[in-house]
Amino acid sequence: MNDQAFIKLRDVSKYYLKGKTKVPVHENVNISIPQGCLVALMGPSGCGKTTLLNLIGGLDRSSGGEIEIGGQRIDSLSENQLAKWRSTQIGFVFQFHNLMPVLSAERNVELPLLLTNLNRQQRQQHVATALKVVGLEDRAKHYPRELSGGQEQRVAIARAIVSDPAILMCDEPTGNLDRQMADEIMQLLRDLNTRFNKTVVMVTHDHHVVAKCDYVINVEDDDLSNCHLGAALDQGVA
């Protein structure tokens, strides 16, 4: 375990109850992820990649072990503390965008800021900056139905970065896009990683995406305790 790592999982386990039976998803997971890198989580369907993402992002609770992000033990936080931590430290990007169809692009991006103490003018400034970063400042007034799939995902990414989080958690962010759009979204995530030092952790099945990451965590044989962190281009996925 690297003591200098930004994201640390120590002997983390996760199980669900089915009746009185414990159904394990992960057991004794140990992972260290450096700050400012782009990491892909890969593995067969059902192996728990999204569960791992949710544990790191504070959307789900572990059943045991320690999860430390930037020196903060998030597994020991109360629900209110965890929600506050997520709102400032984590940005989420999903496969199907999860945009509100009745809201314009700028209003969708603004949603996370409604939970902050920023006034309306400050929120508008943050939204304008986020939309400019993803190249959609000219689509601020457009509704999701008026945008392409790639543009919708860019709005979703703008929403994820509008509060300037340290980490972007991405669950199949290119999975619903064609090759060209997928490459554009991946380039945007890479730009956010390099220009703004965002740590990006993503679940993906796309080997083209993995080849552009710094590291890959391979999940094999449905056992995450066997995963390892290695250079993506050394994994035979380029």
Q: Is residue 106 situated within a structural domain?
A: yes
Which stretches of the chain drop beneath a pLDDT of 70? 1-3, 219-238
Q: Is residue 167 situated within a structural domain?
A: yes
What is the pairing mode between strands 7-18 and 64-69? antiparallel
Q: Is residue 2 situated within a structural domain?
A: no
The 10s digit of each residue's pLDDT in 18-67 is 888 888 888 888 888 999 999 998 877 777 888 899 999 999 999 999 99
Across 113-204, the runs of DSSP E, i.e. the strands, are 167-171, 199-203
Specify the pLDDT at position 2.
Answer: 54
Specify the pLDDT at position 234.
Answer: 44
Q: Is residue 202 situated within a structural domain?
A: yes
Residue 136: domain span = 7-234
Of 64, 40, 57, the closest CA to residue 228 belongs to 40
Q: Is residue 97 situated within a structural domain?
A: yes
Number of domains in the chain: 1
Output the domain CATH number for residue 196.
3.40.50.300
Q: Is residue 151 situated within a structural domain?
A: yes
Q: Is residue 41 situated within a structural domain?
A: yes
Entry pTM: 0.85
Q: Is residue 1 situated within a structural domain?
A: no
